[in-house]
Amino acid sequence: MADFPFRRAFDPDTFSFEELPHSHGVFLLETDGEPYLNKSANLRRRISKLLQPGQQGKRLNLRSATRAISWQPAGSVFETNVLLWRLARRYFPDSYRQRLRLRPPVVLKLNLENEYPRCYPTRRLGKQGMYFGPFPSRATAERFASDFLDLFKVRRCVEEIHPDPAHPGCVYGEMGMCLRPCQAVVTQDVYLEEVGRVREFLTSEGRSLFRPLEEERAKASEGLNFEEAARIHKRLEKVQSVLNQPELAWKAGLATDLDRLCGIVVQPSSAPQAVELFPVWRGFLLHPIQLSVAADETGQPVSLDARLHEVLADLALKPSGRRTEHLTLLARWFYRGTRKGEFVGFESYEKPPYRRLVNAIGRVGRGVAVPES
């Protein structure tokens, strides 16, 4: 198969499993019918079990059906999952989502297409609106939404808004936690201004609200208005508690404005003296880059910083596929308890943090000699 770098015809009497590597990877068993595509942390062990003779019981055995074996080694679980996803789309275009159990991660949507927008957790990405995430679970997304929406006065109801002074309202309006557009207490323009503050809070990592409050507190203190300063201080503490939640990108998490979700996943490589880089741009996974950390032809070390500048300068920011599926693969790896490798996040590819990337590559290399920059 052209999609795999290695392919061998399978003859049960002559095939040697010693040729298969003891490594992560993806494999495909070609049969007269539907091919069998899967992954494994040990290709030789997994394939040999599927094709071993004399197997009895309920365990799957494809020895008599297999005509050829194709495989592609990988250096990590993350690379294996990405390879399996790409190949599953190729061989099973109508069913790969079900086969791989690609359940989208939870994000927060600010539905800006609505006349009276609200912010809520969802697993569906549309073409309009602002999205913030991904979160490890719906519970964490709901907790963050509840906490940060307490700082603003946008609606939380799900009904269509038709402003009417006779509308009964809700508990949030009675508590002063909503501008009550349903009761025509404010105009649509006033409500949209509050929505703009919500959006700015999410895109600025909370600075749009935190810094003005700090200035107000300092001004109140200078004016000896200590009661007002204490009130503002309590609000600052509440804002800080929201910003300190570990799922957020600025706290070593992954959740951020999806249009600003950029970074590089650094993984071990199946090739010697190399690592695999998986660029992330606006939540999309771009084509992976194999980066060698070996010396040049003369045996002299080459600056890793220089190599990074070279490969990232040529990086094409042209994603393909569904962003939901890319986010699923990224979040599934990132929020895994036994995650291996590193994610170096940053705001833009115009100024990548080369020093942080060099350090991450050195840590992921696991003993690979990283040249000094």
Q: Give the per-residue pLDDT at 55.
A: 60
Residue 343, helix vs strand vs coil? strand
Q: Give the per-residue pLDDT at 225.
A: 85
Sequence-distant (6+) residues with CB within 8 A of 327 are: 104, 105, 107, 125, 133, 134, 258, 283
Buried b / exposed e over 121-144, threshold 16 CB at 10 Å, is bbbebeeeebbbbbbbeeebbeeb
Residue 276, helix vs strand vs coil? strand
Place of tokens 């495909």: 28
Calpha distance 231→282 (Å, rounded): 38
Sequence-distant (6+) residues with CB within 8 A of 59 are: 49
N- to C-terminal Cα separation, the chain = 41
CA atoms within 13 A on the CB side of 252: 2
Q: Which fold has domain 6-100?
A: GIY-YIG endonuclease (3.40.1440)
Where do the CATH 3.40.1440.10 domains begin and end in the chain?
6-100
Cα of 259 vs its chain's centroid, Å: 12
Cα of 251 vs its chain's centroid, Å: 15
Residue 53: cis peptide before it, omega within 30 degrees of 0: no
- At position 254, the amino acid (one-letter code) is L
Tokens representing 114?
A: 């609505």
Q: Give the per-residue pLDDT at 57.
A: 62
Q: Give the per-residue pLDDT at 236.
A: 92
Q: List the pLDDT tens digit at each of the 373 positions of the chain.
A: 468 999 999 999 899 999 999 999 999 999 989 999 999 999 999 999 999 887 656 788 899 999 999 999 999 999 999 999 999 999 999 999 999 999 999 999 999 999 999 999 999 998 889 999 999 999 999 999 999 999 999 999 999 999 999 999 999 999 999 999 999 999 999 999 999 999 999 999 999 999 999 898 998 888 888 888 999 899 999 999 999 999 999 998 999 999 999 999 999 999 988 999 999 999 999 999 999 887 666 666 678 888 899 999 889 898 888 999 999 999 999 998 888 999 999 988 998 999 999 999 989 976 454 444 3
Q: How far is CA 323 from CA 12, 91, 348, 350, in A?
A: 42, 20, 18, 22
- Helices 226-243 and 138-149: crossing angle, nearest 10°? 160
Buried b / exposed e over 6-39, threshold 16 CB at 10 Å, is beeebeeeebeeeebeebbbbbbbbeeeebbbeb
Calpha distance 319→281 (Å, rounded): 8
